[in-house]
Amino acid sequence: MFIGHYGPAFAAKAVRKSIPLWVLFLAVQVLDVFWSIFVLLGIEKVRIVPGITATNPLDLYYMPYTHSLVAAVLWAIAAGLIYWLFRRADGLSAAALVCGAVFSHWVLDLLVHRPDLPLFGNTLKVGLGLWNYPALAFALEVGLLFGGMYLYFEATKTRTRSGRYGMVVLGLVMVVIQAVVFFGAPPTSNRAAAITALTLYIVLAAVAYWREEKRAPRKTLQEDLAWKPAN
C-alpha cells in the first residue's frame, strides 16, 4: 500500500489539529522509510519478481526489523514517545495519535500484502493478498486517501484560493503515482525501488508542510461563542 497510508494521516490531523500534517505524513510511512534505508544498507532484503502479485513486483522476503508485527508495535511506541518528548504541550493524546498513525501502516499492509508480513522476526508470515486484485486494491487506496482528506477538509478552512485546491491537486497527483506503481514498469533493481520510495516519502512530507500553511482549523461553535464579545 502507498497512497492509502495517507488517509489515516489526514484523519488524525482532523482529530487533533495541533499535530503538524508533515509529522503525520512521516508517521504513517515510518516503517517504509526505515525499510528503504535498511534495504540500501543491506539490513533488509527485497527482490524484484515481476508477476509475484498482480500489482506489485516486490518479493519482500526479509524485513523483520520494520514490518514484523512486533517491530511495528515498537516503532509506533517509539514514535509516540519521541513526539511527546518534543511536544509535551500537545499532551499524551496527541502522542497516542502519532503512535496509532505509525501502527496503522502495518494494519493496512496486512490487507494488501501477500503473506510476507512476519509476526515476529522473519517467521509466521501473514497477508490477505489484495494486491492480487488490482481493481479492489486500487479502489481501497483511493478510498482511504480521499476519505481521510474529506475529514481534513471538514475540520479546516482555506486561507487562500490555493489552499482550497492545493490539497486536491496533491491527492490527484498521488493517485497518478499509485497508478504508475500498480500498472507501470517494475523497478530496475531493489536499490532503485528503495531510493524511489524514500524520495517520495520525503517529498510528500515537504509538500504537506508547505500546503498546510494555506489552511487553518475551523473554530467550533463553543470557540466562536467564547471569542465573540458578549451582547
* pLDDT higher than threshold 60 for residue 225: no
The helix (H) or strand (E) run that includes residue 148 is helix 134-155
Is residue 132 pLDDT above 70, yes or no? Answer: yes
Tell whether pTM > 0.85.
yes
pLDDT given for residue 222 in this prediction = 43
pLDDT one-digit tens code per residue, 201-217: 999 999 999 888 777 77
Environment class of residue 47 by beta-carbon count within 10 Å: exposed (0-12), middle (13-18) or buried (19+)? middle
Mean pLDDT of 47-59: 94
Determine the pLDDT at residue 231: 40
Cα–Cα distances in angstroms (integers) from residue 210 to residues 2, 147, 169, in the given order: 21, 21, 13
Would you kindly state where each structural domain of the chain is located, as residue ranges?
3-217
- For 220, phi and psi rounded to 5 degrees? -75, 165
Which range among 42-56, 65-79, 82-96, 149-163 shows the weakest confidence by mean pLDDT? 149-163
pLDDT of residue 163: 61
Query: What is the spatial distance between Cα 38 and Cα 27, in angstroms, rounded to a whole number?
Result: 17
CA–CA separation, 12 vs 19, rounded Å?
8
Read off the pLDDT of residues 148-184 as tens digits, 9 standing for 90 and up.
999 998 988 877 666 667 788 888 999 999 999 899 8
Burial class (CB in 10 A: 0-12, 13-18, 19+), 231: exposed
